[in-house]
Amino acid sequence: MKNPEHIGIIVDGNRRWAKERGLFPFQGHQKGLETVKKIIAHAQKEGVAMLTLFIFSTENWKRSKEEIKVFMGLIDKFFKNEFKNKKNPLFERIKIKVVGRRDDLSSKLKNIIKEVESSTKDNRGMILNLAFNYGGRDEIVYAMQKISKEGTSPDNITVELVQKHMMVPDLDIIIRTGKEQRISNFFIWQAAYSELFFLNKYWPEFNEKDFTAVLIDYAKRQRRFGK
């Protein structure tokens, strides 16, 4: 089996990793962002065409206001120091796209996202999708709303048409860290035929060897797509 074209990762376990070590939640998120950088670099080396990371879900707004404020601050800093740094060789070839609703984001963060996407839109390396304020059900509702606004008759709505309105293409692999075994509203349309890998470790513990091990396991599987 050839290498997967599109890998999605549910980034989970930062807070529990921190709690088990007597640390604050934000320290877990800091460590998690370090892992994000390592895995992005490794995915490029492995020749992955598209990598999608689930960073913040629409359900995460249920957390405390203080934790959300701190997390958003970390994300803001991460975008500035990593994605906007033109001297950073890690991101000089990557095309970055942030998927999810931006209504609830601060104007400052929305502007940073817009700038990062604009400055990397012509890059021809790996495509990096960051699912931020994203929910799978929300995406499907949004797609159907767009189709309706286009004046499409219900009888003319097809799988292919809906597919065209999705934010990202189908996922070959979904990896979830955090010791949980569910996809938690992560691109549920695109996950229809994904190969699933649930890892018994938290995101800050996830490393390059784990990523490569998933690719090796994937290569041994037979994807039948219902045949």
Catalytic residues: 12, 60
To the nearest 10°, the Cα dihedral for 99, 30, 33, 122?
60
SS3 155: helix
- Do residues 186 and 8 lie in contact, with contact meaning Cβ atoms separated by under 8 Å? yes
SS3 89: coil
SS3 60: helix
Q: How far apart are the first and last CA of the chain?
A: 17
**Where do we find the tokens 């998690």?**
32
**Where do we find the tokens 């509203």?**
185
Six token digits for residue 178: 């955090």
C-alpha pair distances (Å), 164 with each of 20, 103, 157, 170, 172: 43, 22, 11, 11, 17
The closest of 19, 57, 68, 28 to 183, measured between CA atoms, is 57
